[in-house]
Structure 1
Amino acid sequence: MNRPLPLSNKKVLVPRGADHAKSFSRLIEKHGGIPVEIPLISFRPVGMDETLQHILAKINSYDWIVFTSNVTVDTFLSFCQEGSYAKLPKIAAIGDRTGLFLKERGFNTDFIPSKYVAEVFAEEFLAHINNGCRVLIPKGNLAREHIANMLRKQGHTVDEIVVYETYLPEESKMKLNEMLLKRELDILMFTSPSTVNHFIEAVGEKELKELANRCVVACIGPVTEKRLNSLGIEVHASPGQYTVEDMVNSTIDYLESIDKTDKME
């Protein structure tokens, strides 16, 4: 008899939009799960203003540019193309996937940290760069300032520029509430604190807590886990490596440990 797949028939929240959900959903399906794509976070570029034009005009004055995500890369490069800025400073990326994303667009990455989280990046990047560097950090409107603050404390000059805004699509609110009414979610997966906050914006904090009590909760990264814990929500799966694949594998490990406990009892 074939052993059932670890996520067999479980409905799993995929909190990403169509452009970013495909590989996530395929991973869920590979393990027998049913992906439920409800984008809890979407992105839109800011308008080209004088501040952004000024930054692009002096792009060659920076020693490094730091990219924290694929979205940041895509959005920033779209502005560069508008202004025909072909050459960038040395590039640092938080994560191999962002490095690969840059490579696909013709840019080499000069630094990637051992762990894909701001605290580790800042520590290792500081040990890697020369004194008195000028660093540019394109970011979203809700991004943390930890990296910039740490670099400034060590005497580096840092410019941060918002290149995209994060928002919750209106249609996601309706779909999420419909799924909750039908109790059609078994596993909740959160990829950032923003996805948690947007979930609350869609259904309310009380409803999120009630749902979390019925579901397995998984997340990526200590900041996301901290946000969930601050709401009194237990996180069952939070991997040491901050990728979707590791989150899925960590969830499977949790489910299998529960299954073993049930059999022992």
Structure 2
Amino acid sequence: MQTNTDTVLITRPAEDALKLQGILEAKGIPSMIAPMIKLSLVEDLRPIKEQLNQIEKYDWIIFTSPNSVAFFFEIIESEKVKLYFFPNLKFATVGEKTKMKLEEIGYRTNFVPIKFTAKVLAENIHEIEGKHILIPTSNLSNKDYIKILEERGAHPKVITIYHNLDNKIDESTLNKVKKSNLKYITFCSGSAIHSFVRQLRPVGDFLVGKKVITIGPSTSKVAKELKIKVDFEAKPHTEDGIIEAILNNKINEQT
């Protein structure tokens, strides 16, 4: 583990964290991982199975994260549902990473908002009046945008297909985090911030001298609600935006 003053703390789920760590370290930026959340498929699949049994009624499926794509198609595969039998079904995705995940599986995205947020998607997605929209998501995802879809005349159906849970960090890892000379702390979800606050009390003392970077507006909103100062918000709202924020900060400090 590297502990110099430029070290980045990654709080994403383990698999995603390893990917981000690899990108950071390829750019010479040391990091350590402390996954604050873990993801798991819901035990009761009856609600999503019920919708899959009437998938022909849906006009759109909206995915707000790569994880929603991954879990949805895990269910699709287990249920042997063939979406290509429904050529009029369209897909909308929030963000380039979500779009890429969908394309990896073999489906084309019909709409991606200019800004990578669900709110902007809901405000700008086309031809939705009177349309039925399936939204597979997590138990903790921000659902404020659903009202926008309804106000625009759509009929959204939100189904929880995976759980976003606290990941209890072992004492050894927590002690390493507390003793490390961290400079940046990255958050990619509000739930990661909640878990972080619960596990690193008093969080205010721990954050002294460190830069907090969030992936986007909804994550920043949670941070501010919990009295955590956000130093940088990723632009674009992706891992690339997080890395760019770190690199720009390093450049600014050198000038």
Q: TM-score, normalised by structure 1?
A: 0.87
Gaps of 5+ in 2: none
Aligned pair in 2 of structure 1 residues 179, 210: CA closer, same or farther (>3 Å)? same
* CA deviation string 1:127-161 (max 9, x = no partner): x1242000000010001222221111222111110
> Do the aligned residues in 2 keep the contact of 1:42 with 1:166 (CA within 8 Å)?
yes
* Cα distance in 1 for residues equivalent to 2:226 and 2:44: 37
Per the TM alignment, residue 226 of structure 1 is displaced from its structure 2 partner at its CA by: 2.4
Q: What residue is the counterpart of 2:91 in the other structure?
A: 91
| 1:186-215 deviation digits (Å, cap 9, x = unpaired) | 2111111111111012123xx221122221
Q: 1:1-265 maps to which residues of 2 (within 5 A)?
A: 10-87=6-83, 89-125=89-125, 128-170=126-168, 172-204=169-201, 207-260=202-255
Q: Which runs of 4+ in 1 moved over 4 A?
A: none
**Does the CA contact (< 8 Å) of 1:92 and 1:109 recur in 2?**
yes
Question: What secondary structure does 2:245 align onto?
Answer: helix
Equivalent pairs counted in the alignment come to 249
Aligned partners of 2:200, 2:226: CA distance in 1, in Å? 14
The two structures have a TM-score, normalised by structure 2, of: 0.90
Deviation at 1:241, TM superposition (A): 1.1
Please state how far the C-alpha of 1:26 moved relative to its aligned partner: 1.9
- The alpha-carbon distance between structure 1 residues 112 and 225, as it changes in their structure 2 partners (threshold 3 A), is same
2 CA distance for matches of 1:213 and 1:110?
44
**Larger C-alpha radius of gyration, 1 or 2?**
1
In the alignment, the residues of structure 1 paired with residue 197 and residue 44 of structure 2 have an alpha-carbon distance, to the nearest angstrom, of: 31
Q: Secondary structure at the match of 2:22?
A: helix
Deviations 1:144-181 (A, max 9, x none): 222221111222111110000011222x2535521244
AA aligned to 2:59 is D
Q: Take 1:142 and 1:18, find their aligned partners in 2: how far apart are those partners? A: 18
Which has more helix, going by share of residues? 1
2: CA distance, partners of 1:192 / 1:176: 21
The question of whether the paired residues in 2 share the 8 Å contact of 1:11 and 1:35 is answered with: yes
Q: CA deviation at 1:222?
A: 1.5
Q: Which runs of 5+ in 1 are unaligned?
A: 1-6, 261-265
Q: Which amino acid counterpart does residue 223 of structure 1 have in structure 2?
A: S
What is the RMSD of the two structures over their aligned residues, measured on CA atoms? 2.0
Q: Distance in 2 between matches of 1:43 and 1:254?
A: 31
Amino acid at match of 1:40: M
Structure 1 CA distance for aligned equivalents of residues 19 and 46 of structure 2: 37
1:100-132 CA distance string (max 9 Å, x none):
11111111111111111122111111xx12420
Cα offset for 1:9? 5.7
Kept in 2, the 8 Å contact 1:8–1:32? The answer is: no
State, as a whole percentage, how many aligned pairs show the same letter.
Answer: 25
Per the alignment, do residues 180 and 97 of structure 1 end up closer, same or farther by CA in structure 2, a change over 3 Å counting? closer
